[in-house]
Amino acid sequence: SQELEQSPQSLIVQEGKNLTINCTSSKTLYGLYWYKQKYGEGLIFLMMLQKGGEEKSHEKITAKLDEKKQQSSLHITASQPSHAGIYLCGAVDVTQGGSEKLVFGKGMKLTVNP
Amino acid sequence: GAGVSQSPRYKVAKRGQDVALRCDPISGHVSLFWYQQALGQGPEFLTYFQNEAQLDKSGLPSDRFFAERPEGSVSTLKIQRTQQEDSAVYLCASSSTSARGNEQYFGPGTRLTVT
């Protein structure tokens, strides 16, 4: 079965600092999702990557999928308190019904101090 | 437009009680997923519906867990004879099609505490 390892497990940064979160898969990734979760809330979709070497950006967040499709990184530029939360990576896996389910890492808790 | 909604948001059950958790997906969404998220962990897949058909229930942890989606819209996850290890957040997600590459939209979850 596919496993995802996220690093670091938690991070505390000062507002304005840049940071990078990593997600490493035990198998080749056929699709990789990044979500953000705040306590007591559901998952907020950030980005989805499918192709080796793909890079996507939205506002101050950039996600990359390496050429070998086994590792993804999420980079936040000039962090703000609004970036605080738990970041989850999810790998696409195929259900018995032929559709997709997601296999998630344990998450990375980000704290941004003003 | 409304997103995925779940009810109740919080549920406290005594060990041995039955509970029912409801998910209202985005209108018209074909695919519906249930995930279980234990404290400090990522969500884990429980079951998948395509319209009213339950095509994958490989993630259900025991036969005490039962899910249905009789009319292809609202879904209910039922847990019989709850145990303490069932305490978790139960997340529902829906997707517009069953095709690959479609974003899954998540609801806020139901936090179940079994005492």
pLDDT digit of tens for each residue in chain A (114 aa)? 778 999 999 999 999 999 999 999 998 888 899 999 998 788 999 999 988 999 999 999 999 999 888 999 999 999 999 999 999 999 988 777 677 789 999 999 999 999
Per-residue CA distances from B60 to A91, B33, B36, B89 (Å): 19, 12, 9, 14
- Candidate from A42, A103, A106 with C-beta closest to B109: A42
Q: CA-CA distances (angstroms) from residue B11 to A70, B43, B69?
A: 38, 18, 21
Average pLDDT, chain B: 94
A105 close to A7: Cβ distance less than 8 angstroms: no
Instruction: With beta carbons under 8 A apart, name residues in chain B contacting A97.
Output: 48, 50, 53, 55-56, 98
Cβ atoms of B44 and B36 within 8 Å: the answer is: yes
Average pLDDT over residues B79-103: 90
Predicted pLDDT at B100: 67
Q: What is the pLDDT of residue B111?
A: 96
Residue A101: which of B48, B105, B106 has the nearest Cβ? Answer: B48
**Interface contact B105-A45, CB threshold 8 A:** yes
What tokens were used for A84? 């605080």
User: What residue type is assigned to position A60 of the chain?
Assistant: K
8 Å CB contact of B53 and A90: no
Match 């989606």 to its residue by tokens: B69
Q: Is the peptide bond before B61 cis (omega within 30 degrees of 0)?
A: no
List of residues 6+ apart from B53 with CB closer than 8 A: A97
Whether residues B42 and A40 touch (CB distance < 8 A) is answered with no
Q: How many CB pairs below 8 A link A and B?
A: 86
pLDDT at A40: 73
pLDDT at B110 over 80: yes
Rounded Cα gap, residues B29 and B103, in angstroms = 11
Nearest to A76 by CA among A88, A86, A89, A63: A63
Residue among A64, A68, A70, A61 at smallest CA distance from A49: A64
The answer to whether residue B38 neighbours chain A at the CB level (below 8 Å) is no
CA dihedral B82, B88, B93, B98 (to 10 degrees): -70
